[in-house]
Amino acid sequence: LLVQIAKAFPRARVVGVDIDAQSLQSARRRAQEAGVADRIDVRQGTVAQAAQAERFDAAVMVEVLHEIAPGLRAGVMRETARALKPGGWMVIVDETYPTTLEQAREAEFKFPLHTGFEELLWGNVIPTREEQEALLRQAGFSGEIERSLIGEGFTVLATRKPA
Ligand SMILES: C[S@@+](CC[C@H](N)C(=O)[O-])C[C@H]1O[C@@H](n2cnc3c(N)ncnc32)[C@H](O)[C@@H]1O
């Protein structure tokens, strides 16, 4: 993800945050191989630890929200909101769990249901639309939340920090 962002935005400086050392090692290696390591900074820890005084134009979480322990999600979202500049973009790509049994029968929820089942052993819990939106609202994102479906069942959520 970091490499793709660095390539798509050639003047951007990109900071990657993860709690897992192995993921960070792999990100560093890929950045080196892609020749963009000079614009990518990879930091281990929480968002609050990794982004103390800096403020960013955008925060992007791809396949991360459902991997964050449910009890930590509100805090991570608040820390991420705080790390953004006013007007900064919060973009989340993740699966959305069906809220009702009727939704569970719809094609767009097939993949999220499968992921939820498969990753249960890792402790991952896929959030519903209501849970995703409540997390964003609680973190202070009071504006429009754009929502679209891509691929086999990934949701893209985009909203901006109030100016
Ligand atoms: C599926 S991977 C993300 C893949 C990445 N977006 C990419 O494009 O390669 C999910 C990551 O979320 C990280 N993660 C889980 N809980 C976290 C937390 N509380 N804070 C930061 N990262 C976390 C995991 O360590 C894991 O590396």
Question: Smallest Cα–Cα separation from 12: which of 40, 48, 35?
Answer: 40
Distance 94 CA to ligand 1 centre (A): 11
Atom 10 of ligand 1, nearest CA residue: 64
Angle CA 137–140–144, to nearest 5? 60
Q: Which atom of ligand 1 is nearest to the CA of 68?
A: 16
Q: What angle do CA 41, 80, 134 make, to 5 degrees?
A: 150
pLDDT band at residue 31, thresholds of 50, 70 and 90?
very high
Mean per-residue pLDDT, 103-112? 96
**Ligand 1 pocket: which residues have CB below 6 Å?**
1, 17-20, 23, 62-64, 67-68, 72, 76
- pLDDT band of residue 119 (cuts 50, 70, 90) is very high
* pLDDT on residue 152: 87
Sign of CA dihedral 79, 118, 2, 42: positive
